[in-house]
Amino acid sequence: MNSLRTEAEILRDKGYSYNMIKQALGVPISTMSYWFRERPFKPNKKVLDRIKYGPIKSGAKRHNQKVQNIEKLKEAGAKEIGKLSHRDLWMLGIGLYIGEGSKTIESIRIINSDPAVIVVGIKWLKQICLLSNKNIKIRLHLYPDSNEKEAIKFWRDVTGIPTKNFRKSSIDIRENKKASNGRKLPYGTAHISVVSNGDPSKGVSLFRRINGWIYGAINQV
């Protein structure tokens, strides 16, 4: 995990406020709000001593109620979905590809920064498109403050794709990009691409079939 985020999580779990963590580590409050939006919080004595007891206690209570509500609804939603069938996974992958896949060139690619989405994409490629690790390559899109070795290890562990299948990472050095993007995405964005290894059924032909699946699904809605 990103070392700065790990340090921030330790301080947060010890009851320190966003402002105090910002003073200690320099992490923007907006970034911590994103990191800890579902993390319970109990202010420590230092926090309570710095400000009036009532507001911070009330704020912590509201935050924890929100966290509990999110978790409760998440569990209820998961029960409503039930167990996915093979066809469910097929349809889920089509929807994912509509949103995150390449459609303008005859090359199969899925791009996302969310590990869960990438895992679904790879499972879809393997179980529905009948591909294997040898057909899957990953290129990481990173930021100047990213640790490439840590990022590759993170995505390797998440996806189960071996290190040798990772292509040279690209580093985003555009000046108009917000610095906070790197902190919010310490492991960057994963670009999954498919290589046919000389088998058209796992290359151009598969790309065209996927387009057919998308066409067939969309035109029934």
DSSP per residue, 35-52: HTTTS-----HHHHHHS-
What pLDDT, on the 0 to 100 scale, is given for residue 54? Answer: 53
What pLDDT, on the 0 to 100 scale, is given for residue 52? Answer: 59
Task: Tell which residue, 167, 165, 97, has the closest CA to residue 132.
Answer: 165
| Whole-number Cα distances in Å, 170 to 69, 147, 210 | 39, 12, 27
Q: Which parts of the chain register pLDDT below 50?
A: 1, 180, 182
What pLDDT, on the 0 to 100 scale, is given for residue 33? Answer: 84
What pLDDT, on the 0 to 100 scale, is given for residue 131? Answer: 97
What pLDDT, on the 0 to 100 scale, is given for residue 17? Answer: 85
- Write down the pTM of the prediction: 0.69
Sheet hosting strand 109-112, strand order edge to edge: 109-112, 189-194, 136-142, 170-171
* One-letter identity of residue 16: Y
Return the structure tokens found at 87: 């066809």
Q: 123: Cβ–Cβ under 8 A, 6 or more apart, which residues? A: 89, 93
Phi, psi of 112 (to 5 degrees): -165, 155
Q: Specify the DSSP element, H or E, that contains 159.
A: helix 148-159
What pLDDT, on the 0 to 100 scale, is given for residue 163? Answer: 96
What pLDDT, on the 0 to 100 scale, is given for residue 198? Answer: 93
